[in-house]
C-alpha cells in the first residue's frame, strides 16, 4: 500500500511538473493508468488491510470497495490497450480530434467498469470474502445469473482490450508500425511492453479464478489459495508500474531532479561594484 501510494503520487508529480524533461507522446493513457493504480492503492489495498485487522467489512464500504475494484481493473486494462493502439499507429495525444477520441476511450473504460461493478451491488450479490481480504461477488442461487453477468462483463470490459493488447503487441514485435509518425526510442512509451507483461502476469490468477467459477455448476468459488493469490497479485501490479516507469532513463532523471534539486530559480548576475584599473 505504501509503495503504491508513494510511487504513483511521485509518478503523477513527475508527469505534471517535469513535462519538458522527458518525451511522452501518449500521456493521456499513462495518466489514466496511474490514477487507477493510485485509487487501488489508497482505497482497495487499504480496505483489505482494514478488513484483516477488524475481521470484515461493513456496508456501505463493502459495496463501494467491490464496485471500485472492478472499475480499477477495467480502467487499467483499457488504458494499457489504448496505449498499445496509440503506439502502434503513432497517434499522439495531441490535436483536438485525436485528443477527443483518446479521452473518450479512457472515459469509456472507467464508465463500463463502474457500470458492471454496480450490478452486483444493486442485486445484493456482495459478501465479505476472507480469502480475497475484501468484499466480492458470491453466487448462492442462480448459475444462469452468474453465467450471464461474467460473460457480459468479460466480453465488454476485459476481452476486447485484452485482444487489442495481444494484437498490437504482436504487430509491434514483428516490426509493423507507423514509422512516419512513431516517436523515437526515448519516448516514455518504450516501457509499454513491460507494462503489458506486468499486467498479464499479475491478473492471470484473477482470470483463472473466474474461469474456474464458470465451470462449476454447484456455484462453489475458486480454491481459497487462488482467490488470495489473485488479490495479492493485483495489488502487486499497482506498485510495480511506478518501478517500470522509473526504468526509463529520462523519466528517472526527471524524478531525481524533482526530488533532490533545491528548485530555487537561478538569479541573474548583478553588478555590485566597478574597479578602475589605471595603466
What's the domain range around 240?
22-252
Question: What element of type H or E holds 144?
Answer: helix 143-153
* pTM of the predicted protein model: 0.83
Number of structural domains (the chain) is 1
Beta bridge pairs of residue 128: 135
What spatial distance separates the first Cα and last Cα of the chain, rounded to whole Å?
72
Cβ–Cβ under 8 Å, residues 74 and 24? no
The whole-angstrom separation of Cα 9 and Cα 35 is 9
In a domain, 132, yes or no: yes
Please report how many Cα atoms fall inside a 13 Å half-sphere around the Cα of residue 51, on the Cβ side: 24
Q: What is the pLDDT of residue 268?
A: 54
Task: Give how far the C-alpha of residue 179 lies from the chain's centroid of Cα atoms, to the nearest Å.
Answer: 27
Closest CA to 200 of 172, 227, 240: 240
Q: What is the pLDDT of residue 135?
A: 87
Measured N-to-C along each axis, helices 2-17 and 27-39 cross at an angle, to the nearest 10 degrees, of 150
Q: pLDDT tens across 34-91, in order?
A: 999 999 999 999 989 988 888 888 888 888 988 999 999 999 999 999 988 888 877 6
Tallying the residues shown for the chain, one arrives at 279
Residue 177 confidence (pLDDT) above 70? no
The whole-angstrom separation of Cα 48 and Cα 133 is 5
In a domain, 221, yes or no: yes
Q: What is the pLDDT of residue 270?
A: 58
In the chain, % of residues over pLDDT 90:
34
Find the range with the poorest average confidence among 20-24, 74-78, 179-183, 273-277: 179-183
Please provide residue 96's backbone torsions phi and psi, each rounded to the nearest 5 degrees.
-60, -45
Q: Rounded to 5 degrees, what angle do the CA atoms 222, 228, 229 make?
A: 95
Q: What is the pLDDT of residue 265?
A: 44
In a domain, 276, yes or no: no
In a domain, 140, yes or no: yes
Cβ–Cβ under 8 Å, residues 127 and 135? yes
Residue 222 confidence (pLDDT) above 50? yes
- Name the more confident of 196 and 88: 196
In a domain, 277, yes or no: no
Q: What is the pLDDT of residue 183?
A: 46
In a domain, 7, yes or no: no
Mean pLDDT of 234-254: 89
In a domain, 71, yes or no: yes
In a domain, 44, yes or no: yes
The whole-angstrom separation of Cα 127 and Cα 134 is 9
Instruction: Categorize the per-residue pLDDT at 165 as very low, low, confident or very high, splitting at 50, 70 and 90.
Output: very high
Report the CATH number that the domain containing residue 186 is assigned in CATH.
1.20.1070.10
Task: Give how far the C-alpha of residue 63 lies from the chain's centroid of Cα atoms, to the nearest Å.
Answer: 21
Amino acid at each position: 500500500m505504501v509503495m503504491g501510494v508513494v510511487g504513483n503520487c511521485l509518478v503523477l508529480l513527475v508527469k505534471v511538473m517535469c513535462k519538458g524533461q522527458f518525451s511522452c507522446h501518449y500521456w493521456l493513457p499513462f495518466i489514466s493508468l496511474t490514477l487507477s493504480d493510485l485509487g487501488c492503492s489508497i482505497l482497495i489495498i487499504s480496505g483489505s488491510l482494514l478488513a484483516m485487522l477488524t475481521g470484515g467489512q461493513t456496508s456501505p464500504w463493502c459495496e463501494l470497495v467491490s464496485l471500485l475494484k472492478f472499475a480499477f481493473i477495467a480502467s487499467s486494462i483499457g488504458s494499457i490497450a489504448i496505449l498499445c493502439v496509440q503506439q502502434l499507429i503513432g497517434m499522439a495525444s495531441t490535436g483536438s480530434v485525436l485528443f477527443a477520441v483518446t479521452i473518450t476511450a479512457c472515459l469509456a473504460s472507467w464508465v463500463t467498469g463502474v457500470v458492471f461493478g454496480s450490478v452486483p451491488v444493486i442485486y445484493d450479490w456482495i459478501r465479505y470474502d476472507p480469502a480475497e481480504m475484501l468484499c466480492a461477488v458470491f453466487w448462492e442461487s442462480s448459475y444462469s445469473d452468474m453465467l450471464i453477468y461474467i460473460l457480459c462483463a468479460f466480453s465488454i470490459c476485459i476481452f476486447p482490450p485484452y485482444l487489442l493488447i495481444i494484437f498490437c503487441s504482436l504487430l509491434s514485435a514483428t516490426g509493423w508500425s507507423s514509422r512516419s509518425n512513431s516517436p523515437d526510442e526515448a519516448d516514455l512509451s518504450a516501457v509499454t511492453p513491460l507494462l503489458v507483461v506486468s499486467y498479464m502476469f499479475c491478473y492471470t490468477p484473477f482470470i483463472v479464478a473466474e474461469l474456474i467459477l464458470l465451470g462449476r455448476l454447484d456455484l462453489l468459488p475458486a480454491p481459497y489459495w487462488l482467490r488470495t493469490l489473485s488479490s495479492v497479485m493485483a495489488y502487486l501490479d499497482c506498485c510495480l508500474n511506478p518501478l517500470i516507469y522509473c526504468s526509463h532513463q529520462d523519466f528517472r532523471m526527471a524524478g531525481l531532479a524533482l526530488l533532490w534539486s533545491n528548485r530555487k530559480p537561478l538569479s541573474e548576475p548583478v553588478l555590485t561594484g566597478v574597479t578602475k584599473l589605471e595603466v
